[in-house]
A = this chain, B = another copy of it.
Amino acid sequence: MKKKRTNISDIAKAVQVTPSTVSRALNGGGKVSEKKKQEIISLAKKLGYRPNPIAKSLLENRTNTIGLIIPEFTHHFYSRMLAGIESITSNSGYQLLICTSNEDQSQEIKSIYTLLDARVDGVIATISKVNDTFGHLQEVMDNDTPLVLVDRFSEEIEAPYVISDDFQGAFSAVDHLCQIGCRKIVHIKGPDNLSTTFNRLMGYKEALRKHEIEWEEDLVLEGSNPDLEEQIKSCLETNLVDGAFAYSDYLAFEIYKVASQLKIHIPDQLAVIGYADEPISTYITPTLSTVNQQPFEMGAKAAQILLNQIENPEIPREFVSLPTELIIRKSIR
């Protein structure tokens, strides 16, 4: 059994006043003699009195906490997004309670209920890779708890969104490869079921179309394929590939690995662009060109929208798509 918390009645008994006098002394308002007030405050301090959070939150209907659900922390993207969220929430006196879904929807659902049970004032979430049901997210909003979804979009759930312009990000990368003369550009795709995967593939195709290069099925590889290394190898060997655009920096590193095995020189024979600007990209040789998604700004914007919704639930839902930035490093001539 947990130790009983000191409550207002304990203090009232000890100082021989009524509980409501203690409450007035601690919260201000009403008449209490200055001497009694000091006595009550000092005793409350000594006994480690803190207002009962449940009683307090029932009264105010606020806990000043915000729930955050993200897939994982191994990608730098999410720690930058977290930093952006914190830059807004901590200034506004909100505490974050974070849950990770590990890209598993059943874990995401459990996390949602844990956060609702903790009575968070709002939720920011990135939906997990596997996503085929959205009732738990709808329930958050039905419970009148503001919700903002970040990074990944689904047509299945109407909510405020803050995403990155993945189409434009991919388009600018592949457009650049075409401009420097690449004609055979391989694309390594992201996980199925994600809007980011779909939009980056569309951006890739659209840039090829702009440069009148026909799209070839053989040049689009599945990043999740367990034989990815073999696939890249056979693709680089069979086709005269001169450019590569990967869904993520980590997938671009797979291309680096195979190119090194096949003695294909980056950037002289093969120009490579990744996605997400992971810090590793500046450490690897040659440094990797990539697309910056502004994860800090995404997090900050999502937090701003959420806090606005908490203050004023009636404001219309926003859909924000942030621009990306193409970063050219030594993996491009």
Contact = CB atoms under 8 A, between A and B. Distances in A.
Contacts of A78: 73
16 contacts: A1-B61, A3-B144, A48-B139, A65-B118, A73-B78, A73-B79, A86-B102, A95-B99, A95-B111, A96-B99, A97-B99, A97-B118, A98-B100, A280-B283, A283-B283, A284-B284
Contact of A253 (B61, B110, B145, B283): B283
Interface residues of A, number: 45
Main secondary structure of the interface of A (DSSP, over half): mixed
Given A48-B142, A72-B79, A283-B283, 6 more contacts: A2-B61, A65-B118, A82-B100, A95-B99, A95-B110, A97-B97
Contacts of A327: none
Contacts of A113: 50
Nearest to A253: B283
Interface of A: 1-3, 5, 48, 50, 53-54, 61, 63, 65, 72-74, 76, 78-79, 82, 86, 90, 95-100, 102, 107, 110-111, 113-114, 117-118, 139, 142-145, 253, 279-280, 283-285
Contacts of A61: 1-2
Contact of A98 (B90, B97, B145): B97
Nearest to A78: B73
B99 A99 contact: no
Contacts of A95: 99, 110-111, 114
Nearest to A74: B79
A48 B113 CA distance: 12
Contact of A54 (B54, B98, B143, B284): B54
A143 B3 contact: yes
A54 B58 CA distance: 11
A142 B63 CA distance: 23
